[in-house]
Structure 1
Amino acid sequence: MAALRKKPRSPFWFACFTLPDGRRVQRSTKETTRKAAQAKADGWEKLSKERAKARQAHRVIADIYKSAHNKELPDATPRAFITAWLTRRQGELAPASYAAYSGRATHFLSWLEAAADGPMADLETRHFTAYRDALAARVSASTANHGIKLLRVILEDARRDNFIADNPAKDCGLLKQETDTARRPFTLVELRSLMGAADEEWRSMLMFGLYTGQRLGDLARLTWANVDLQAGEIHLRTAKTKRFIRVPICTPLMEHIEGLPAGDDPKAPLHPRAATSKQVTVSRQFGELMAVAGLRAAVNHDASKKGRGSRRAVSELSFHSLRHTATSMMKNAGVSPAVVQDIIGHDSAEMNAQYTHIESKTKRDALDKMPNLLKP
């Protein structure tokens, strides 16, 4: 039977019981009566014992299989299961999503070292907590939390497939995120500084980013087939939401597009260098451009470990800030939120219930209210 105790200045009873990994813990039952608290504590103790039995059963089965076949039970180790999981999901996930899962899972397995080839049942919450803290020493809290969320998905499939009794990543808490590094829009002065520091392709990317409000990856993949000069529109399907959108080409962007070199191949990319680079590379290059423009500190990648080897400062500006910029500029110009939503491509059930279609002319008029970066 689980034990109960009272703490000074607390009206609730605390349950004392043993976790599946052998640790003795105390948890508040949120109950003020001893009978109700004891019932809840006994339930927790029973659940903990059942999980411990299931974990031991997995170890026994894995040991029997190894003795009989002189190799680990297939998918019974973190490395085997995660590798198989990535293989199964490769055709189901968008390329960017698959890259995120693959990169984080591979890094986690490397961090686990020998434990990656041990029984799946040996994975505990403490492993994920320690991994989260190791990540937080190098990257932002948001990035560390995102890594844990990705691993939760993988481990939940392992639990669902009965390779483990419970999902140890699920109980790994998330870090409190910085409140002073929220993304913000660019100012017009900052945009002009970027334009001045950018080369020809990056100036084009900035123009498309501001006047379409689309994400960096989607703009990098744009081809001439996405540009309908006769209708005066850019049409694309977003990689993140799979939403098909049409964005009218406003006057400044049309002037820019008309000056771009175009060939006979409609599949030719508008931004060749970005189209043939990994998104993480393009994102890093934009960070370097911001440093040249004086909008952030340069990242040092030398052997002193002040760059890649240490925790990087989180910038409040990124290419994604152009979406915030476009939204803010249009709203400040008095454009309807529904029109802004339709242009930027944000999903909103509330707005979709009120507006089913926004005319192209309305959206073009909205975009034309934004400043022209081509003019001083």
Structure 2
Amino acid sequence: MKRANPYPGLHRAPKRLADGSRKVYFYAWKGGPRLPDDYGSPEFARAFREAQEARREPKRTGTLLDVLNAYQRSRGVRRRARGFLDLAERTRRDYAEIIRKQLEPEFGDFPLAALADPGARGVFLDWRDRRAEASPRRADYEFTVLARALAWALDRGIILANPCQRAGRVWGGSRAESIWTEADEKAFLKVAPARLRLAFMLALWTGQRQGDLLRLPWSAYDGKTLRLAQSKTGARVEIPVGAPLRALLDATPRRSPIILTTEDGTPWTADGFRSSWRKARIKAGVAGVTFNDLRGTAVTRLRRVGCTHAQIGAITGHKNAEITAILEKHYAATDPQLARDAILKLERGTKAPNRPPNRPAGAGSTEGEA
């Protein structure tokens, strides 16, 4: 007698890992929440049952406060509905502050059933517009937190609609001028202490985020390659180490399991690093750029030397669309060096000068003469 399937609708997604092995990921249904890896365990069965129950009977009662509270206890690796507890520590802290100070007072009593109302989107967009009067960029960030909490709730079947999805942005600014120039680099490296010079070179030659670099262990470096998993996206990158960075790493004493450390050899805190970095930047006379701008600077420089989107993404972990957005909207669109390089290529590729031959002085046109 054929046994009944204990997990009807279960979706299996095999994936080949970086080491060549294969792993199967389990989801409650295709497009549903991911389940624990230990197939058939009590935890696996419970997660499957809870996901199916939530799908059959969406929890449409309650208020947005219930969703915000549940979101802050959530886990989940799906990119568009990532759980709160799977975010980087700094991101969790920022999100929690926005939820507590902005979203709960403003929308805590908003009925979940009203999220599917056609007018709900306007309510949230109006709030964002009001917040944007003080700071458009901050308003976008706060709106993103709300949209992601709702995306998680929609994915789990807690709500029926996310009126904040695909809402675009208020802030129209760009960081077109916010790339580190070679002059900025030279000035900073001249005055920065060795521990910050190493941080600068790591960022410029890997294109990684500050948080990931501050946690990067020596075990990730084998003398030729750096390997890490990005905390924000989960993307795994394997970066060949360029000669300038390799020389600096090899000359750095290993006083801690972590590569980047303070003067006394202890790992940096995020706040401590930002404070020391700011002091060094000011001392160097460098303005208008931040440590985070080194990530975009790396993308720009890689493109400038002819790297393809795929090559850039293999180093920085960006998707093709993200690289395009950086180059077109934020950096390359106003990069004068790219324009100069393009004209030089045109000059070298032009075999004959595009100008009329010299003519005797005083010679007139004979066009139309008999």
Structure 1 pair 258–332 and aligned structure 2 pair: CA distance change class (3 A): same
What pairs up with 1:24-103 in 2 under 5 angstroms?
76-89=62-75, 93-96=86-89, 97-103=91-97
> Which amino acid in 2 is paired with 1:295?
V
Residue correspondences, number: 249
Identity among equivalent positions (%) equals 23
Write the deviation string for residues 293-351 of structure 1: whole angstroms up to 9, x where unpaired.
3333xxxxxxxxxxxxxxxxxx5x332332333333344444555444423333339x9
* Cα drift, residue 74 of structure 1: 12
Change (3 A) 1:177 1:288: farther
2:295 counterpart (311, 315, 323): 323
Where do residues 1-376 of structure 1 align in structure 2 (5 Å cutoff)? 76-89=62-75, 93-96=86-89, 97-109=91-103, 111-112=105-106, 116=108, 128-129=124-125, 131-133=127-129, 135-139=131-135, 141-156=136-151, 167=162, 169=164, 174-179=169-174, 181-182=175-176, 184-229=178-223, 232-263=224-255, 268-273=257-262, 275-278=267-270, 282-283=273-274, 286-287=277-278, 289-296=280-287, 315=288, 317-335=289-307, 338-348=310-320
Q: Given the superposition, is the C-alpha separation of residues 221 and 149 from structure 1 closer, same or farther in structure 2, using an over 3 Å criterion? A: same
| Aligned-partner residue type, residue 244 of structure 1 | R
Q: Which amino acid aligns with 2:132?
A: A
Between stretches 93-102 and 163-172, larger displacement belongs to 163-172
| CA drift at 1:261 | 1.8
List per-residue Cα deviations over 1:258-312 (Å, max 9, x = no partner): 221214x6xx11113494423x66456545543343333xxxxxxxxxxxxxxxx
Distance in 2 of aligned mates of 1:111 and 1:151: 13
Q: Cα distance, 1:218 vs. partner?
A: 1.4
TM-superposed deviation, 1:152: 2.0
Q: CA deviation at 1:220?
A: 0.9
C-alpha separation in 1, matches of 2:280 and 2:220: 26
1:221-272 CA distance string (max 9 Å, x none)? 111111112xx22111122332222222222212211221214x6xx11113
Q: Residue deviations 1:70-110, cap 9 Å, x none? A: xxx99823334311221124575232554443332223245
Superposition TM-score, scaled by structure 1 size: 0.54
Q: Match for 1:198: what amino acid?
A: A
Normalising by structure 2, we get a TM-score of: 0.55
Point out where structure 1 has 5 or more consecutive residues left out of the alignment: 1-72, 297-314, 352-376
249-258 or 163-172, larger mean C-alpha shift: 163-172
Unaligned 5+ runs, structure 2 = 1-58, 76-82, 324-370
- The root-mean-square deviation of aligned C-alpha atoms, in Å, is 3.8
- Superimposed CA distance per residue, residues 157-214 of structure 1 (whole angstroms, 9 cap, x where no aligned partner): 55677877755545977414125x4364311110112223423322110011112222
- In structure 2, the CA distance between the partners of 1:294 and 1:75, relative to structure 1 (3 Å rule), is farther
